[in-house]
Structure 1
Amino acid sequence: MTVLALAAGRTGPALRARLAQALRRGRPRLLVALPILLLLATLGFGVAAWRVGRDNAAIAALQAGRDVPVGTDASAPLLLARIQYLARRGQPEGIEPLVDALARTGDTDRVARARYALANTRLRQAFSHLERSDLDPAGPLITLARQDYRRALQNNPDFWDAKFNLDVASRLVRDFPEFDRKTGDELKAEPKQIWTDIPGQPRGEP
């Protein structure tokens, strides 16, 4: 037997004895700390469950048409629900900060749906102006809608509804070159004729 083997044989029992002694000394502290750690863990799970329940209630209220204020620090599902609520009511002004906050979460699918909802709102507003032959405000709204549809597709390239509505907005620009000239000329077509060559209005829920 080598010298190293002898040393290991002698130190092994001594080391185990020291560990056992340290465990005996620390056991009372562990017994005191364990309930506290369990309590903290329970509180943490409870707070998380409460937040999920609160968010679900707010989302349900927004989907039912009730106005629920939402801050930019809200969860991604709640941010999207608020964006869709504002979009359905034609209120794009409050949407952009929420979309920016949603983008910071990294949830690309929800960001795409949020951009799509915002674009639909702007396109609907543009259609409303076009029906009244009010070309000046319609052009910028269509430009913004096209930008948001493209951003939606950047986050979700397979978003078919966004592709369809981007084509609708692009056809409007092609059919009415007055948008590019920005001269403020009165729209030549009658309001009822505006829809003749357009394949459809914004589709589905925002």
Structure 2
Amino acid sequence: MALNPLAPLPASYAPDRRRRVRAAFVALILTAAAALAGGISWWHKAQDNALIASGQASQQLDIKAPLAPALRFAQAHELAARGEDEAALTRYRSLHGDRQFGVAARFNSANLLMRQALGLAADSNATEGAGQSVALTELAKQGYREVLHADPGHWPARYNLERAQRLHPDPDESDPAIAEPRNDAERAATKMRGIEPGLP
């Protein structure tokens, strides 16, 4: 049975049509909101990229400001290039937990610590500098190990860890100061004069 094209539509069609129009309108609003959010995010990233490209990212050094991780990473890099090692390390440490920049920030922190250690080791006049060099090398090795724990295929970290190990090797695990007690430790009492071996 065919419907007459001029005949009025069934009553059930009108609510169905309203539901579809309403759903399309909601989808249109959600799409517009997502596009607006994407546009705002893109605009912020474009501003950050322009600031990084201009080489002036480190002028916004207020650590409490909620800066984008990419901008904080660029600031740390600029500070390290200018020789402001402590400020650069602070910026890198603020990124250690970041999912995108965490591994790179740990690697750059370890490299910065290793450069400081090498600088102190090269200064042969300072005996105090030698101790600081060992401490900085140990911190750098710890940083490289954290990078390798997060990314075992990070070959630059593996290479730098090996170089740091050559500079200051880890203590040998068979160090007699912390090894097992000697085998002849029980015989000490039997070798003493005036002591009878055995029970009274």
The C-alpha deviation readout for 1:45-98, integer Å capped at 9, x for no partner, is 32122012012113323xx47634265743343333223223333434334554
Q: How does 1:168-179 map to 2 (within 5 A)?
A: 168-174=163-169
Kindly state the Cα deviation for residue 155 of structure 1 after the two structures are TM-superposed.
Answer: 2.1
Counterpart amino acid of 1:168? R
Rg comparison, structure with higher value: 2
CA distance in structure 2 between the aligned counterparts of 1:173 and 1:34, rounded to whole angstroms: 63
TM-score, normalised to structure 1's length?
A: 0.58
Q: Secondary structure at the match of 2:168?
A: helix
Provide the residue aligned with 2:95 in structure 1. 102
Contact kept, 8 Å, 2:79 with 2:85, in 1: the verdict is yes
TM-score, normalised to structure 2's length?
A: 0.60
Provide the residue aligned with 1:128 in structure 2. 119
- Pairwise CA RMSD: 3.7
Structure 1 gaps of 5+ residues are 1-15, 178-206
Kindly state the Cα deviation for residue 147 of structure 1 after the two structures are TM-superposed.
Answer: 1.0
CA distance in structure 2 between the aligned counterparts of 1:113 and 1:123, rounded to whole angstroms: 15
Give 1:80's match in structure 2, choosing from 65, 73, 79: 73
Structure 2 gaps of 5+ residues are 1-9, 173-200
CA distance in structure 2 between the aligned counterparts of 1:162 and 1:31, rounded to whole angstroms: 53
- State whether structure 2 residue 21 is matched by structure 1 residue 21: no
Contact kept, 8 Å, 1:87 with 1:118, in 2: the verdict is no
Provide the residue aligned with 1:59 in structure 2. 52
Sequence identity (%):
31
Counterpart amino acid of 1:105? D
**Which one has the bigger helix percentage?**
1
Give 1:155's match in structure 2, choosing from 144, 150, 154: 150
Give 1:114's match in structure 2, choosing from 97, 105, 112: 105
